[in-house]
Amino acid sequence: MREISPGVVIDPDIRGGKPVIKGTRIPVETLLGRLAGGATYEEVMQEYDLAREQILAALRYAAQLLGEERIRAIQ
């Protein structure tokens, strides 16, 4: 298991190596999808038995990835 961002880990034996919330098997992708779909922090916290800080860790990880993304125009 390797922590790739504070509170987010990858492990080839958990969810095929997708990023998950540390100490869980919950993919970051799942949390982001629920929030993007309109779920509140409180709903996600209750549904997945998470703390607010764990949700924020998923958001920070996503922001980090987008911040590193490089876009090149194709002409």
| Structural domain span for residue 49 | 2-68
Question: Residue 34: which of 48, 24, 23 has the closest Cα?
Answer: 48
Note whether residue 17 is domain-resident: yes
Token pair recorded at residue 28 = 């970051």
Chain segment 13-67, per-residue pLDDT in tens: 999 999 999 999 999 999 999 999 999 999 999 999 999 999 999 999 999 998 8
Domain-embedded: residue 75:
no
Q: Name the pTM for this structure.
A: 0.88
Q: How confident is the model at residue 68 (pLDDT cuts 50, 70, 90)?
A: confident
> What CATH number does the domain containing 26 carry?
1.10.10.10
Domain for residue 74, yes or no? no
pLDDT of residue 70: 82
